Amino acid sequence: MKIKFNNKYFCWGVTAFLTIAAGIVFYYFVFHSANIMAGIQTITGILMPVVVGMAISYLLSPVVNYTEKYFLLPVCEKLKWKESPRRRKTIRAIAILITAFLFSFGIYMLLYMLIRQIVPSVQNIIANFDTYISYVTEWINRILKDNPEKSAYIINLVDKYSAQLEDWVKSLIPDPTILIKKVSLSVIGVLSFLWNFLIGFIISIYVLASKEKFASQAKKAAYAFFEQDTANQVLANVRFTHDTFIGFIGGKIVDSIIIGLICFIGMNFIDPTYAALISVIIGVTNIIPFFGPYLGAIPSVILMFLVDPMHPLNCVYLAVFLILLQQFDGNILGPKILGSSTGLTGFWVIFAITLFGGLFGIIGMIVGVPIFAVIYAAIRAVINIRLVKKGLPIEAYKYMKLAYIDENGFHDIVVEPKKKEKPGKKKGKKDEVSDTESK
């Protein structure tokens, strides 16, 4: 017996089956969500090396493309090496090797600074914290020597909050015995992280070598499962999302590295004691849009003041230097690197950072802006499409003074000016009668 798929009874049966299946899935999602989340976490844990590899390859893809386009291809043209599959494979292999070397070197330098300079700097702060507080207390007594009541009050506040600050600083680098105990207890987690990172790095090399093939397979699947217009729209949305993310995240990383290096050079002229620590703080916090410069500058200035309160000019120099550095980043370097990668105004940037930062913490503050930029662009596209279908303009400024729209077109809000009575004008009889009636 041949089944007719266009039979209405068959369609009803499929619809009923899908409805029941959706109901069962919804029931399990509501009442057995813990089991579902446990299953998702298990699958995620198994595929974590693949996820790490995809993330690394996505971030390194612009470096590979830049190396091929601006370094290797010109060399091949000078050597008069004709276009061929062998040339493409050789160029890609060399570009991947250069990118992998730069990536490994960057991780090595980060660990080197962390172990050789940043950790000793934090340990030095912890060891000399009481001395720094005594410096601050002596400075307050010198400034407020004519007002002992205020001096005692401020010193009490310093003692109160310095104890909390000392506990927080000590929590950054715990006692060696406690640290060894924690590491020994979490050795499986550390090995798992290193394993995922190592396997992910290897996977990223394979992904970078065949990224065009993967992209073509994804496009093929899109046109296989969607209508042509829908597939075109899906590809356009994916390209926009990719340009927004890679333009913002990649640009922010490059911008923050440059700012950190400039800060390190400047700190060596101001006070080289904690140049590496302050430069890392400024560079890392600069990745966070809008609030990042403040999150990095304020603790850096406080640290400089605690280290040497008897010479406040260094603190002033650092504050002025950081202000100038952030102005340079915000007005010159940032726009050159980032351009208009998000298309969001200042208000929406703050909104995105606040929302995603509250939901996902620091990671949310970093990726919240490009995510919200994609959502904002999607909503704007839907609104514009619906306006075009209705024959209405899509420019926002045309709706600024709009009162209503009818068959005659747009009607703006009309504010009639108030009529002013001439000074010295006396009321007539009609005015007096109207006033009496109103009373």
Return the higher-pLDDT residue of 59 and 117: 59
pLDDT value of position 439: 43
pTM over the 0.75 mark: no
Question: Does residue 393 carry a pLDDT above 80?
Answer: yes
User: Rounded to an integer, what distance in angstroms lies between the CA atom of residue 10 and that of residue 5?
Assistant: 6
Residue pLDDT, tens place only, 303-354: 787 776 666 777 888 889 999 988 888 888 877 777 655 667 778 888 888 8
pLDDT value of position 175: 53
CA dist 201 → 53, 301, 318 (Å): 5, 38, 39
pLDDT value of position 436: 45
